[in-house]
Chain A
Amino acid sequence: DVKVTQSSRYLVKRTGEKVFLECVQDMDHENMFWYRQDPGLGLRLIYFSYDVKMKEKGDIPEGYSVSREKKERFSLILESASTNQTSMYLCASSPSPYSGNTIYFGEGSWLTVV
């Protein structure tokens, strides 16, 4: 089974703190994604990566950055957390973009910024 692991399930951070959300996948997938999920707004793509050290902006990249130093690991960084970044964050991965589009999600990281 494909496994996408988000190491932190629940975090509480203070406004202005730097926050790291880590994600690891074990299926040698080329693509990795970070989404944000909010009630009524669905799943919004923050950043994605098609290869190591490559990244592309999604629909809502403002206030976020990402890092992909190894193929299996994709980190989401909030440089200076703000209360409007309180949300559930979902990491996902998928095989080559040329092999179809099924993506596999982790279980989510609930972030509260106070």
Chain B
Amino acid sequence: QQQVKQSPQSLIVQKGGIPIINCAYENTAFDYFPWYQQFPGKGPALLIAIRPDVSEKKEGRFTISFNKSAKQFSLHIMDSQPGDSATYFCAASIRYGGSQGNLIFGKGTKLSVKP
């Protein structure tokens, strides 16, 4: 019940395409859903996050779509660029959960954007 399932494991798109990465969770107590971006040789960094009271959040070319009833959320990258090539991790947690609020990460998606 604590797992977050992420797919696909890897993804190759052409420049300008719209890669979509999907995540699913089981624990209905989760109320914070961030995405982290990791470039080669670097640690992951927060990209964008959503709370379950909204169905969509946009920040620049990155959009999170959230479907509470299906317990799924996804990341869309509009007009993707080679510089977006990275590994993306979804995560979920219970906000203000104290010792129970640790982020649960998906296994990651390696995205390659071809020029």
Q: How far is the CA of A29 from the CA of B51 in the complex (A)?
A: 23
Indicate the size class of the contact surface on chain B: 20 to 34
A/B pair count, beta carbons within 8 Å = 60
State whether A105 touches B43 (Cβ < 8 A).
yes
Determine whether A50 belongs to the interface, using a CB cutoff of 8 Å to chain B: yes
Determine whether A74 belongs to the interface, using a CB cutoff of 8 Å to chain B: no
B contact residues around A4 at 8 Å (CB): 43
State whether B99 touches A101 (Cβ < 8 A).
no
B contact residues around A56 at 8 Å (CB): 99
A contact residues around B49 at 8 Å (CB): 102
State whether B103 touches A90 (Cβ < 8 A).
no
Binding site for B on A (CB under 8 A): 4, 33, 40-43, 45, 48, 50, 56, 58, 90, 92, 97-108
Binding site for A on B (CB under 8 A): 6, 9, 32, 34, 36, 41-46, 49, 89, 93, 95-99, 101-103, 105-108
